[in-house]
Amino acid sequence: MTNTPSFVRTQMLDPKDPPITEKGAVKWIRENLFSGWLNTILTIVSLYVIYWVLAHILPWSVGGIWNAESLTECREIRDASGIGYDVACWAVIADRWHQLLFGFYPSELYWRPILALILFGVAIAPILFDTAPRKLLIVTAIMPFAAYWLLWGGTIWGPLVTALGFVIGWAVLTYGAATLGALGATIGAIVVPLLYWLLVAGPLSGILGAALPIGIEAVPSDRFGGFMLAIVIGVAGIVMSLPLGIFLALGRQSDLFIINKCSVIFIEVIRGVPLIVWLFTASLLLNYFLPPGTNFDLMLRVIIMVTLFSSAYIAEVVRGGLAALPRGQYEGADSLGLDYWQSMQLIILPQALKISIPGIVSTFIGLFKDTTLVVFIGLLDPIGLSNAIRADSAWNGIYWELFIFIGLCFFIFCFSMSRYSQWLERKLNTGHR
Amino acid sequence: MKKSVLLGTLAVAGLAAGAVSAQTLDEVRARGALNCGVTTGLVGFAAPDANGEWEGFDVGVCRAVAAAVLGDSTAVNFVPTTGQTRFTALASGEIDMLARNTTWTFSRDVDLRFEFTGINYYDGQGFMVPRELGVSSAMELDGATVCIQTGTTTELNLADFFSSNNMSYEPVPIETNAEAQQQYLAGACDVYTTDASGLAATRATFEDPSAHVVLPEIISKEPLGPLVRHGDNEWGDIVRWTLNALIAAEELGVTSANVAELAAGTENPEINRLLGSEGDLGGMLGLSSDWAANAISSVGNYGELFEGNIGENTPIGLARGLNAQWTDGGLLYSPPFR
């Protein structure tokens, strides 16, 4: 050890920092933005375009006027303030935001749709997140009736009596199997509630309502509007079309002739005609066929049409998922001795639905945005309300502010749906790879 | 088999519809509210305000009918209708009357089986151009680009006008009035054409209205009025004479301010008959004797309705023009109340 040559270091040098051009932001910028003369030019042009766009939009939107009674007043305030460029007149949002969100719903009752939305969030939690407590499923089962009652109000007996029909169906299915056999119980579970709803439910709720008048203030459908209308139609359509679509997809795959052909015809007819035509059918044609004096709510008709329309699309998306499963999965289920419903429920559908998630969510996002089509049959959705607001002489001539607000709201809803689906895909990615 | 079932259904529906149409008045009374079809939004004619209350010139007609029939001008369900849904909504019985700036034409009256119960606004198609073009007459518009709403009668009128005057034009098709305003301001077209009332309302929203002129030529007749279904003449009479009552009230000097006082009885027998202190005109319609007084006191006479919604003191600023009383050189002329 004594002969260690003096030119050999005994200890390592500290690592030096890389040259300034080879690390951090500078390196990233150099490699990604200025790596060659073409990229340099493109970068400079892009930066200029971004600057140009922001220089026009930011002063316009940030400097916008929030306190004014009309577009004319907005312009007066702007001219008085002496700024030389155009600014947004956000006062129209400040004045009408409640209308864009709730339509003509009575303002003292806004808590009802808000509560319904919160309850909806609680109700879908056990479906969306498997960490949520299972007891919340009770809320999920009650939710459709609670939401209807909260939104439309009126006597509590209507939704209760309607819900009783489902209980009856469930009771027939569970306890009738012993006496009627499996097929008889299934048919009974469909027929008995239908008869109950058609014949008994109406008078029963009338009697109960007369005996015990419990209820909250009723709000007719024509007070609904804005995003509330879009969400009610969209959510009702989404919630009801998913099970319907799954049944249609199974029906289309079925070997039973009548079920198969009925599903195929339904899907192809509904899918072969544009949504706007179905909406016009709901709004115009049905009126001629219904007996005069029947007040079949326009909104209900629209919800039914939207549900049927999107269920046909869901059916095809799910069928894609079913078709993607290897034959061995079906055979494996059979070999375990599972019957049809068990094999579907335990083996086939969980896998098929997982594959179909992007398609299903994409259909839902499309459905939600398609609700704006109801403007053509005279329902005041956000776009329809923007026209109605412009028809007020105080706000006539205002465009971008309204459309930006509406677009932003739609983006928030659709983007969160999309993010959720991506999260779900990652979580369920047990993988075939 | 299926065909006969379908035809049977149609026949039953048709019969039932025929049976129901003769009793609109009873239905409205039983319902306690008038279902009135309006536009989904047209400046000055019908629009919901910040509280969701409908306001406007056409809305006033609905309220007047509700006041005459039910004695309450707020007992109206306003049903927003689009250009496509309005006639079906009326024909199917979803609404009792339509007051939606609808032009009275032969085919609508005869072929669509409706009954126009009068004219509440005489409109006509006009042109608007930027002042800097220096155009003073529509005859100088040869070769112009024109913003025009597609699928409307204005499109057909425009083609007729240019071809009959041996001029050419280039159409810029647009879908809505909102789009038209943007296109016109952006300079995509030299001329914007639509109903004169719409032009005035549009021009009023511009930053600098004085930079645009509405040309004097009116190239079409657009008599706008409320309408009801064929087949229920009693109901048609009620709507017709409610509108006439508003017009006659202006001619006779009855306003919402003095109607209560005049209803007690005046020297003028026609006012007495109109307001129910003499004769029984209300009873003939199947209404109470103070039907017209209710209508006038709730919405005012025709002149008040006009001035309050679209007149010269509103942002829209329409002059009476053709819509003045016949005594003032206009076309408003109510048959006598006798």
Per-residue model confidence (pLDDT) at position B294: 95
Per-residue model confidence (pLDDT) at position A249: 94
Task: Report the alpha-carbon angle B97-B101-B106, nearest 5.
Answer: 80
Q: Which residue has the tokens 């609404």?
A: B95
Angle between helices A226-253 and A111-128 (to 10 degrees): 30
Per-residue model confidence (pLDDT) at position A222: 84
Quickly state the pLDDT bin for A23 (edges 50, 70, 90): confident
Per-residue model confidence (pLDDT) at position B12: 43
Angle between helices B24-31 and B233-252 (to 10 degrees): 80
Contacts of B13 in chain A (CB under 8 A): 288-292
Q: Is A287 on the interface with B (CB under 8 A)?
A: yes
Q: Do B84 and A280 touch (CB under 8 A)?
A: yes
Quickly state the pLDDT bin for B166 (edges 50, 70, 90): very high
Buried b (16+ CB within 10 A) or exposed e, B120-145: bbbbbbbbbbbeeeebeebeebeebb
Per-residue model confidence (pLDDT) at position B21: 46
- Which amino acid would we find at residue A114? I
Per-residue model confidence (pLDDT) at position B75: 95
Return d(Cα A122, Cα A418) in angstroms, integer. Answer: 19
Per-residue model confidence (pLDDT) at position A431: 56
| For B16, nearest residue in chain A (alpha carbons) | A292
By C-alpha distance, which of A423, A417, A328, A308 is closest to A369? A417
First to last CA, chain B: 56
Cβ(B148)–Cβ(B183) below 8 Å: no
Return d(Cα A74, Cα A106) in angstroms, integer. Answer: 28
Return d(Cα A307, Cα B325) in angstroms, integer. Answer: 53
Here the tokens at position A306 are: 């939207």
Average pLDDT, chain A: 86
CATH architecture, domain defined by A98-105+223-427? Orthogonal Bundle (1.10)
- The structural domains of chain A, with segments of one domain joined by +, span 28-93, 98-105+223-427, 156-216
- Which amino acid would we find at residue B261? E
CA distances from A45 to A36, A133, B14, B26, B211 (A): 14, 54, 68, 72, 37
Per-residue model confidence (pLDDT) at position B15: 42
Here the tokens at position A423 are: 């999260």
What DSSP line would sit under B44-77, residue for residue?
TTBEE-TTS-EESHHHHHHHHHHHHHHS-TT-EE
Return d(Cα B103, Cα B222) in angstroms, integer. Answer: 5
Residues of chain B with CATH 3.40.190.10: 22-122+224-328, 125-220
Here the tokens at position A182 are: 């499996």
Per-residue model confidence (pLDDT) at position A375: 87
Return d(Cα B21, Cα B324) in angstroms, integer. Answer: 34
Residue bearing the bigger pLDDT, B310 or A18: B310
Contacts of A388 in chain B (CB under 8 A): 40-41, 47-48, 80
Q: Which of A12-26, A79-93, B54-68 has the highest mean pLDDT?
A: B54-68
ipTM reported for the complex, 2 dp: 0.81
List B37's β-bridge partners, or say none: B79, B98
Q: Which fold has domain B125-220?
A: D-Maltodextrin-Binding Protein; domain 2 (3.40.190)
- Percentage of chain B modeled with pLDDT above 70: 93
Q: Do A287 and B92 touch (CB under 8 A)?
A: yes
Question: Mean pLDDT throughout A255-270?
Answer: 93
Question: Mean pLDDT throughout B146-153?
Answer: 81
Return d(Cα B207, Cα B209) in angstroms, integer. Answer: 6
Contacts of A292 in chain B (CB under 8 A): 13, 16-17, 19-20, 93
Per-residue model confidence (pLDDT) at position B20: 46
Angle between helices A226-253 and A91-102 (to 10 degrees): 40
Q: Which residue has the tokens 């009128």?
A: B157
Secondary structure letter of residue A201 according to DSSP: I
Residue bearing the bigger pLDDT, B278 or A202: B278
Cβ(A157)–Cβ(A214) below 8 Å: yes
Quickly state the pLDDT bin for A288 (edges 50, 70, 90): confident
Quickly state the pLDDT bin for A184 (edges 50, 70, 90): confident
- Percentage of chain A modeled with pLDDT above 70: 96
Q: Do B41 and A287 touch (CB under 8 A)?
A: no
Q: Which fold has domain B22-122+224-328?
A: D-Maltodextrin-Binding Protein; domain 2 (3.40.190)
User: B61: how many CB neighbours lie within 10 A of its CB?
Assistant: 30
Going by their DSSP bridges, the two strands B97-98 and B47-48 should be labelled as unpaired
Secondary structure letter of residue A154 according to DSSP: E
Buried b (16+ CB within 10 A) or exposed e, A419-432: eebeebeeeeeeee
Contacts of B88 in chain A (CB under 8 A): 283-284, 287
Return d(Cα A248, Cα A315) in angstroms, integer. Answer: 6
Residue bearing the bigger pLDDT, B40 or B331: B331
Per-residue model confidence (pLDDT) at position B85: 84
Q: pLDDT at residue A202 above 90?
A: no
Q: Which residue has the tokens 């930079």?
A: B211
Per-residue model confidence (pLDDT) at position B22: 56
User: A332: how many CB neighbours lie within 10 A of its CB?
Assistant: 14
Residue bearing the bigger pLDDT, A135 or B96: B96
To test the contact with chain B by mutation, choose from A73, A99, A219, A288 the residue with the greatest count of B C-beta atoms within 10 A, namely A288
Quickly state the pLDDT bin for A1 (edges 50, 70, 90): low
Query: Residues A32-51: pLDDT tens digits?
Result: 888 889 999 999 999 999 99
